[in-house]
Structures are given as C-alpha cells and as structure tokens.
A and B are shown apart, each in its own frame.
Chain A
Amino acid sequence: MAHSVRRDAPELPDFSLLKRLARDQLIYLLEQLPGKKDLFIEADLMSPLDRIANVTTLKEHEVDKLYKVEHKSIVSTSDQLCFLIRPRIQTVKWICDVVNADKAVGKFRRYKVIFCPQKFYACETLLEEQGIIGDVTTDEWSFYLLPLDDDIISLELPEFFRDNFLEGDQRWVRTAGSALHLLHSLYGPFSKVYGIGRCSKMAYESWREQVKEGEQRVRQADIGNVFLIDRDVDLVTPLCSQVVYEGLVDDIFRIKCGCVEFGPDVTSSDKSMKVMLNSQDKVFNEIRNEHFSQVFGFLSQKARNLQTAYDKRSGMDIKQMKTFVSEELKGLKKEHRLLSLHIGASESMMKKKTKQDFQEMLKTEHSLLEGFEIRECISFIEEHINRQVILFSGLLPKDYRSLKAQYLQSYGVDHLLTFSNLKQLGLLVEQQPGETLTVMESRVGKLVNDKTAGKLTDAFSSLAKKSNFRALSRRLNLVPKSDEEYDLRVPRDMAYIFSGAYIPLSCKLIEQVLERDGWTGLEEVTRMINGHEFAVTAGSNGSDPRGRSDAQRIILVMFLGGCTYSEISALRFLGKEKGYKFVVVTTAITNSARVLESMLDNHA
C-alpha cells in the first residue's frame, strides 16, 4: 500500500540526539539542587518529559516525590522544592503563593524554579515583586525540541498560536529562532532558507543573529534547506476535518505528544490503553498516511495474512515449532495486537462519524472550499447550531449576524468574547457591504464545551482573509476539477488527504517554492497572502558535492503556530513523488478543535 518510493530518497538524520541533550541538561539542572527534593511538574510538560526521561532517571537525581502543578496548596514535607514549569504568569503566581504561605507559618525551604524552555522577564519580575527572589532560584531548561517521530519534531508550545497571532505577543519568536539555531548547529549548516509570514521572518532574523553571535563549526550538512511558514498564511487547512488515518485519529481521540489513549470501545476490554503512534508501529506506519476509506481493506488483508502465518503451525514437527516460536511468534503476536487495536480504532471512528452526519459535514466543507452552494451551506450550518451541534461563519453581514446570534443562543452569550477573538484573528470576517459573495474557508470540527458538557461539532466558515481564498485557490489550483473521479487508492496529488477535494495551501506553497527555487512567478500569490516572503542562500562553503546533494533534498519545514497530521501526510506524499525527505518542525500539532479552543474565552 505504500506508494512507490524513489530509490534515491536520502536518509533522515537521527534526531534522538535531541532527546539526549534535553535529558542531560535536565540532569545537570537537578544536580544543581543537591539532596532530596520534591518535583512539581507543569501538567503539559509531563508528556514531553515522559518521552525523554523516566521516573528512574529522576529518582537517581534525588527527586523524591512527583506532583503535578495544580494551582492548589501543596502538601509536600520536603525541605527542597523544585518546580519544572512553562514560563506562565499564572503558574509563577501560584509558586509565589506557595512560598509566601510557607513563610507565613515560618517554614523554611529551598525553592528552585526551572523554566522550560526559557525564562521570561515578566515571570522574574513577579518573583521580585513578591519578595521571594533569594528564597527562590531560577534556571532554564532549554528543552526546545522534542522528536515525536523520525520526521516530526515538536516544540510542544500550543500557546504559540494564540500568543502570536491573536494577542500579537512576540515572546516565542526568539524561542523559535533558538530552536532553529540548535538544529542548525547539529544538523546544518543550512544552505537555503525560504519563508513566508511575518513571524517566520522574525524567527529567521533571530536565528541569524544567534548564528552570528556563536562560532560556526565546519561540518557536513545533514539538512540543506529550510522552509518557514506562519500558520496564519493558511488557516483554512487546519480547520478542515481530517480524513487521513492519522489525522482522523487525532481529530477523534486526540493524539498527545505522539501517544493516544484508546478507550474500552477500541480495546474491546474493560480498560483503556495508551498507545504510541509512530513509525515503530509497523501496522500504523503503513496506514497513517492513507485516506480513511482505504484503511479497512488494508487491515482486513493484513488480518488474512496474519491468519495464514499462524496457520503454518499446524503440521509442524517439534523442531519447526520451536523455531517458529522463537523466531516468528513474538513478531506475529505483536502484529496481532497492533492490528486488532487499529481495527478497533477504525470501527469506533466509523461509528462516531456516522452518528454525526459526517458525510454531510464534509460535503458542506467541500462546497465552501469550492465556493458554491453557499446558501445550502449556511442553512446546514444553521441547522447544526439550532440543534446545538455547532457553528460560526463569516459571510454577508445579515448571515453573519444571524449565525452569531444563533450561536450565542445555543452556547451561551459569554461566547461574545470568543467571537471578538475570532474576528481579531481574521478567522471570522464580515463582508463589507457591497462586496460580492466570494468566499471562503470552512471547517467543521468538534468542540468539547464544558458547559454543555457534550460533544459539539463546530462548523466554521469564514470569509477567507480579505476574500482572497477563491482567487488563491484558482491561481494555485487548490481545488481539483470536480468532474473526474478521484481514485483514492492511487493518489495523484496532495489533494488525496482531503478526499481529492482540496490541496492544502501550506503544502502547495512549499511545493511551488521548492520547484521554482524561490518565489519568482508567485508574486501575485504572495501579494494575496499578504507577503513577508523570503528566500535566502548562505554564502558558499565548499563541502563534498555528493553529500551536499543529499542534504539538499532533506528539507526542514517549520510551522510557526502548529501544523496538522494531514499536512504532514501531504508532505510525505510530496517527498515520495519528488525524491525529497521532509522533516516537520512545528510549535505544536494542531487540528480544528485545537485552533478553535485556543480562541475560546468564555472561562474565568
């Protein structure tokens, strides 16, 4: 089922080194606070920490008890407390409370705050204002990059998206630059950097400054080219419902740090199970990039093969049986287990999607993408809001207002704040009167809203930024002609990840720029996207041309603000077609629900 791979595709560099680095630095930091200590860990740092160290590692460095940061008063009896946190004001405030509460009762302890991946002045100022600098020492754990798979590296900073694009806070720009710098030092030197978007440009600048400050070592490059892209260049793609296996699993079960928790309905037992999803899982590796409709066939074929392999046992003599058990059985069992898991997951996803009018939702999305039958789409979305299943949209003022009003009626007026955010981000756009109805982005995903305590699906359509989406789509051929059948078994372009209905804008841009070796000929496109594009070549440093040519075909794509599994699948497909290997670096893995959740503002 794997697509034919061009034989000359280069090998990916080994990124496990990044894990070692992070772990070793953590150990170093823990050693800076000798003696027994209790460790408080920020909730969303736990999974990343899991990937690089384990409890044993921590225990070896005199960590006694582990707690999750819960913003409540603490019960520790240790006289040394270590906090491993993100540089967030809320968390630092809580630490201040903890320290001051101790002081109030005359309890003496030593405190150490380790900020990951870096400190912010605002946090330190807070410690100072609370009069606890001295009681508290601070440090930085420069754990920028977590390899989630052979070709995916994540900064695990979901807040990057909101901070940067909604709040306009550039606090993570240097972080992105530093991450790039680290990759450059270990796997560079890069010879070409392309990019688009304001944040990309700033991150590039920050990286360049950092390179200038340090000394450049001469080594042979593993990664030759870099492509930086801002998430807000293409907000359409992450809002689309995913239909490629890995993306669908993420939409439905939420993959966290490369790991998913399958509930009893999938495991067909009474227990949930946490499963790592990466290329080590042979079954998963073969279906992750496939359109969901192809997965069932593949899995059943696989099941038949497995049966045949098991069946070999009958008619074996003792010796053969012994070899079979020692050599094959373990592998077969493992495969068996994985297979039944993925079959279970597929079934469960099928069930959920049938319940939700998934087909109609997809149809609506695709129509919105193509830009016709707008009227029907609006009424579909409307019906969903009415049934408390969904919505948002940006359209003619009349439609916009009515949808907004209906949404607020269904989900609570406090979502006014959410609407204000969406508008600010440009996700929700009301057309200026007089403009014609072109359009638009769409999306339908799910939102789990605590208040209604149910799964709410969320249809979302927005007038593409400045109504340019239609024009862009035509220019770049994002929506293939719909008059011919699209054979999902033999994908002919990246559109397969959305059932042949749409080529993700982000990936199309990457393809075009690599093909043209720059932005020449794409002037109109970049103008519509609102620019900030660049293409820079490093000064020549004569290294081995053969090695160079390999490195030139390894392309690091950095998504600032997150990317989806579908986009990764699309890039893998593109890589196979063109003989590239893509390494995706992202501030976080995202999807429609996460994008929307980051905009929610109806909680205290």
Chain B
Amino acid sequence: MIRGKPDDDEYWNSSKFKAFTFDDEDDDFTRLKESKRAVNSILVEDEDEEDEVEKVNWSGEPVGSISWSVKETASNIRSTGEVRDLSFPKIDTAPSLPKNSSGYSLSSLFKGKAKTGSLQSFSESFSEQSLRNYAPELRKPKSEYKDYISDWTPEETVKRMQQGKAYSLEKFHFLQDKLLLLDEAVNAHDGNVITAVLIFLKKSLSKEILFRELIAREIALRHYIHYLKEMGEHKHLVELFKSLGRTEDMALMQYRDHLNIKDENRRRDFLKNCLSLPFSQEDATHVLDHYTLLERQIIIEANDKHVESSSQADIFKKYPRKASILNMPIITTLYYSCFYHYGESEGTYSSPANIRKTFRISDKQFLLTCLGARAKLKAWFDVDALFTTKNWLGYTKKRSPIGFHRIVDILHKNNAPVQVLQEYVNLVEDTEQKISLAQKYKCHDVIINTYRDLKDRQLLIGYREKVERSSPEYRKIEELLCNSQIRWKN
C-alpha cells in the first residue's frame, strides 16, 4: 500500500503502473490529438471532490430508479453530512491518489510515448521503465485486415478468435475441417469461441449432421444446448433432445413452456397436452398433479369469485380474499380450502378432504395446514377436533403425528388464548420441555400442577415469587403449600 499523500510524480514512480507499447505506430499522431482533447476536456475541474459532488446539476426524471441516484446523494449531503460517504461512497478516498485523478484519462496513458504538452511528465516516467503492454487491448490494430483471405489452420483461427483478431470461417467447407475447428475450440477451453464455431456450424450444416457429430462431443454439445436455451430456440432444442434420445430432458423442456402462458385456461390445456410427454414415472405423477390442480383451481376460483361478489357467504365478507388461488401450490390451495371451505363434503372439489385425497397429502402435512388455517380463524373447536380420536370403548384421546410442542408453537403464533395453549402444553410428554414451554407462554396452571405432581415443594415456593401476589395463581400455590395431604419430597 502506498501510504501518505505523495505528489503526483512520486506516485507514478512508485506505483505498479507501467507504460505500454503499441505494435502499430501508424496512427500514433491521431491518437495523440485525441488524447490531448480528451485530457483538456476533463482537466477543467481541479477542486476537491467534496465540491464536485455538490456541483452536480442533474436532470432527475430517469434517475430515481438508479441505485446511485443523485437525488439521494443530494438529500444526504443536505441532511447529514457524515452519512454521505456511506450511502453514496466517494471513489478513491484513499489519500494515495492524486486529487484530480479523473483528469488523466486512459487515452492519455495509452499515449505513453507522447513527448509533448501536458503529458510531458508522464512520458518521462514511462520512458524510463521497461515498456510493457499489460492493459487489455482496446482496439484492434488496423493492420490486420491485410491477410483477410487466409490460410489459417483451425488452431490459428481459434487463437485469433480468442484474441479478438480478424478471422474467417468461410474456408472451412469440408465437414472434416469444420469438426477440426470445433475440436480445436474445445481444446482451447474458451466457451465463447466454442459457441461461435457452433453458430457457424448451425448455419452451415444440416441439423441431422450437426446433431450426429455433437453426440460424441459432450462439451460442445452442452455449449450448444445452452446457446439454444438462451436464444429461446425451444423447437430446435426439442429436436436435439429427441435425436439424442434424451426424452426426459425433452419432456421437461416442453413442460417449461407453460411458464410463458399467462391465460389460465390455455395454460391448463397446455398442461393437459404435456401429460403425454415421456417424463420419468415419478415426474409424470407430478405433472398430472399440476394439471389436476390448475383445473380445480379454475373451478374454485370462478365459484368463489361469484360467491364473494354476490355476498353470499359471511366468511368472504369477514376475511376478504387477498389474491386469487390460481397457480398457487397444492398446500396453499389446501390451506385456502381449510380456510374458506372447511366442513364441505368430500364430494366437492373445494373441500379439504377431496384435496387431501386427490393429491395424496400426508397426515402430518394435512394436519399442519389445517391447524394453521383453523387457528388463524380462531376456530378452537375445530382445532380441538383435529386431535381428538375415539377408541373403540368410546374414550376420547388426543393424538398428533407431530410433537405437541410444535403444535403449541403454531397455536401461539396464531395468538391462541392461554386456556387453549395450556391444554396442549399439558400434552407435551417430556416434563422438562413442558415446563419450559409453560414458562415461555405463561401457562401458570401447567407449571403449578407439574410441580405438584413432582411433589417438589422448593420449586413451587420458587415459582410463587414469580407470580403476582393476590393473583389466582398465587392463591393456588398457597393452597397447595398448605395442603397437608401432599407428601413433599423436599
């Protein structure tokens, strides 16, 4: 790092910045003029950058959308001076750089050999160094047009393409030459050139021949596929996959097109057509689900829209729909149906039971979705029913495929009252977990009862300190502590 604030000369001498050479000297003079103009045009401002920023006079309209919009800058400058360098970072705050650094345009550097005018000091420092071209070539030397009709080998051609020099693919007429060219491009590991050669082959070979040759050339093939994808040439791509025997890829490729169809009825019809595509067995099921789902969503949507607008059902009035159900995932659809269509018989498409069955939704998943929807509606009775099972003797018991601690979390997130919460906290098996949940959600009864069952007097006394005096909890603890029938273990 260059520390401190050296003056310009020092900077240049100590920096890594070295001059470069140009192989073609012919237009040095024009360049010099250009650069001089360039330098003159930008040396106008010499002041601190601090001032520069404020001087900007910016016509605002389009700028609002731009991350570094000046509007933002300006307001920051006005309000909090200090914030400015954060929200709109000043470039080159490093003291090592000359203040008016923007005055030296790249073009002036490129004219490193110039010996006149304002560039004097540069050229001196440059000429003392070994000249070297390290910067990327900005312009192709004009001298290169001379051997346009050429005899470059595939290797030379690829090299020239990589370097951005003039080249010609016209002379590669023979299939053998074309393939050599392609292989050479692949050997050079330059995807850009590989694709360029492939574009040439695409134009100059029939599909059948090109596809046939690509089968044996995995790397080129992948470039070709990617190119077609980017160009949106789906038909071509489908043909390619077909000829390669990659039927699953082909199916997915075609299926993907549904994303471009906005109209739901057309999308549904498109998906229906997709059903016959050669998907893997597993994916075929999913695509069928997709089609069935959209088909039903269209029906549900039309129906509910009507019901909602004609105010036929209270639920839509109380909880207006925020969005259409079209194109939502299966689980979202299930949630929707648990929310608006709970209790409908299995015969209707919109009923939770029907959706559960049609899409083979697992017990856990069904329960969680249902629970979320009913809890949101504060339908605690429904929630209760979800877990209640009757055995053959008619006793009821609460069961859940997921741990009750999870259920408690979900209920709490839906603002369930303590009475509801504690019922489920009580069902948590692990005592420690039960206590900690009860403490988290302030289910005093659960805690007190648990301590009582543990016959742990000390803990109970300790807990008494945490509840409010003269609250029902407090009284309950007092009563228990006075109860002589309990055999405390401590």
Contacts and interface: CB of A to CB of B under 8 A. Distances in A.
A401 B362 CA distance: 13
A409 B196 CA distance: 42
A412 B329 contact: yes
B348 interface: no
A142 B135 CA distance: 9
B180 to A, nearest CB: 18
B59 interface: yes
B347 interface: no
A53 B469 CA distance: 67
Contact of A206 (B94, B189, B282, B365): B189
Contacts of B283: 416
A207 to B, nearest CB: 11
B2 interface: yes
Nearest to B221: A168
B1 interface: yes
Nearest to A386: B365
A150 to B, nearest CB: 8
Interface string B191-215: 1111110010000000000000000
A140 B92 contact: no
A59 B58 CA distance: 9
Given A274-B86, A413-B286, A140 B136 contact: yes
B97 A20 contact: yes
Most chain A CB within a 10 A radius of its CB, from B92, B192, B194, B249? B192
Contacts of A219: 16, 18
A416 B136 contact: no
Contact of A41 (B45, B66, B255, B286): B66
Nearest to B253: A417
Interface in A1-22: 11-14, 16-17, 19-21
Contacts of A401: 282
Report the contact-size class of chain B (Cβ under 8 Å from the partner): 35 or more
B330 A410 contact: yes
Given A16-B96, A57-B102, A601-B256, A416 B364 contact: no
A452 to B, nearest CB: 7
B453 interface: no
Interface in B233-288: 249, 252, 255-256, 258-260, 282-283, 286-287
B231 A414 contact: no
Given A11-B1, A50-B89, A205-B189, A406 B106 contact: no
A60 B135 contact: no
A395 to B, nearest CB: 15
Interface of B is mostly: helix
A284 to B, nearest CB: 11
Given A54-B91, A121-B199, A171-B195, A28 B16 contact: no
Interface of A is mostly: helix
B204 to A, nearest CB: 13
Interface in B59-101: 59, 61-63, 65-68, 70, 73, 82-83, 85-94, 96-97, 101
B290 interface: yes
Contacts of B229: 167
A413 B190 contact: no
A66 B189 contact: no
A335 B238 CA distance: 60
A337 interface: yes
Given A17-B15, A122-B227, A604-B259, A383 B402 contact: yes
Given A21-B135, A122-B230, A388-B332, A414 B68 contact: no
Interface stretch (B126-134, B145-153, B470-478, B480-488): B126-134
Interface in B107-149: 107, 109-110, 130, 132-136, 138
Contacts of B252: 416-417, 420
B420 interface: no
Nearest to B285: A405
A382 interface: yes
A408 interface: yes
A576 interface: no
A296 interface: no
B361 A409 contact: yes
Given A12-B1, A170-B191, A187 B136 contact: no
Given A55-B58, A67-B62, A89 B133 contact: no
A186 to B, nearest CB: 5
A142 B136 contact: yes
Interface stretch (B48-56, B300-308, B458-466): B48-56
Contact of A121 (B52, B192, B361): B192
Most chain B CB within a 10 A radius of its CB, from A56, A171, A174? A56
A66 B66 contact: yes
A202 B189 contact: yes
Nearest to A406: B365
Interface of A: 11-14, 16-17, 19-21, 23-29, 31, 41, 46-47, 49-57, 59-61, 64-68, 70, 75, 88-90, 118-122, 125-126, 139-140, 142, 163, 167-174, 178, 182, 185-187, 202, 205-206, 213-215, 217-219, 222, 259, 273-276, 280, 333-334, 337, 382-383, 385-388, 401, 404-406, 408-414, 416-417, 420, 451-452, 601-604
11 contacts: A25-B138, A31-B38, A41-B66, A51-B91, A122-B199, A163-B226, A169-B195, A173-B189, A388-B332, A408-B286, A413-B287
Give the top 10 A-B pairs by smallest Cβ distance, nearest first. Answer: A170-B191, A168-B222, A171-B191, A121-B196, A24-B106, A28-B106, A142-B136, A185-B134, A413-B290, A202-B189
Given A17-B15, A28-B138, A173-B189, 12 more contacts: A25-B138, A47-B67, A60-B44, A122-B195, A186-B16, A274-B87, A401-B282, A408-B286, A413-B289, A413-B293, A417-B255, A451-B327
Interface of B: 1-2, 15-18, 34, 38, 41-42, 44-45, 49, 52-53, 55-56, 58-59, 61-63, 65-68, 70, 73, 82-83, 85-94, 96-97, 101-102, 104-107, 109-110, 130, 132-136, 138, 161-164, 189-196, 199, 219, 222-223, 225-227, 229-231, 249, 252, 255-256, 258-260, 282-283, 286-287, 289-290, 293, 327-332, 359-362, 364-365, 368-369, 372, 402, 406, 410
